[in-house]
Amino acid sequence: MALRLSEVEEIRCENGQKVINWLSQCRYFSKRRIHVVKNDEDRLVIKLYTSEHTYQFYMTDNDYLSCSASTRKPRPGEGWTRGNGLCNGRVTRRLFNEILGAIVFYEAKEVMKTRPLLADEMMKTGQSAADATEETEELSVT
């Protein structure tokens, strides 16, 4: 059974408490959006889910914080999901911010390069639609 942070009475790991506090300062934070996987005295493991990825945070009282990303479904023909380690190191606010930045750009989609529209090109050169169409047909034939 999945346990949401909203159902946990207490975070046992000291560094886990610190990271949860930092998360709670983020806009749109909700305890219902955090899946608690492990809540021991020396470590806390939580997951956040997006439509395409799962992000797992791992915190220990040995001053360690890491985050990894996994796809939620395999690619066609593969029976496994792909993943990457995002950031890890000592538990600091700086590392936490690096993790958040990594998540943002892991989710971000590439902006496609736009191509000029034929009508825009015609306006710049003063061509008529018939001339532009003839040019386009000549290019496709040769």
**What is the C-alpha to C-alpha distance for residues 24 and 6, in angstroms, rounded to an integer?**
12
Where do runs of H (alpha helix) occur along 2-141? 14-24, 93-107, 118-125, 129-141
**What is the C-alpha to C-alpha distance for residues 133 and 135, in angstroms, rounded to an integer?**
5
- Give burial (CB, 10 Å; 0-12/13-18/19+) of 127: middle
Taking the model in full, what pTM does it have?
A: 0.74
pLDDT of residue 99: 95
Give me the average pLDDT of each 10-residue run along the chain (142 residues): 84 93 93 93 94 94 94 88 91 95 91 74 68 57 52
User: Could you tell me the residue ranges of all domains in the chain?
Assistant: 3-107, 116-142
pLDDT of residue 47: 95
